[in-house]
Amino acid sequence: MKRFYIVRAWTDDTSLWIETKDGQRVCTPFSKWKRLENATKDQRNDFVLGYTGIHWPSIDEDLGYEGLFVDAGLCEATPEECSAVCDP
């Protein structure tokens, strides 16, 4: 099983970035999620890293780490293949 430990996340003008403990980075465009695409820069930057995902309280959006890594092609969408948790 691939296990990813998230150490930080940040945003730029168009995307969400996630970095793992071993230095891997995932970049996902906001255009994949309507709420994030329509959010202001301040709303996009107002997120909380949880154990299994990211939450944006001001726009009520949640994204799971595992789904982001599956979308990036770093693991398969099976419980045995991928695990991602926050480990700052």
Q: How many folded domains does the chain comprise? A: 1
Judge if pTM exceeds 0.85. Answer: no
Q: Is residue 11 part of a domain?
A: yes
pLDDT beyond 70 at 83: no
Q: Which domain holds residue 30?
A: 2-76
Buried b (16+ CB within 10 A) or exposed e, 36-71: beebeeebbeebebeeebbebeebebebebbebbbe
Q: Is residue 86 part of a domain?
A: no
pLDDT at 15: 95
* Pairwise CA distance, residues 65 & 83, whole Å: 8
Q: Is residue 68 part of a domain?
A: yes
42 confidence band (pLDDT: 50, 70, 90): very high
Averaged over 64-85, what is the pLDDT? 71
Question: 43: domain CATH number?
Answer: 3.30.2020.40
Q: Is residue 88 part of a domain?
A: no
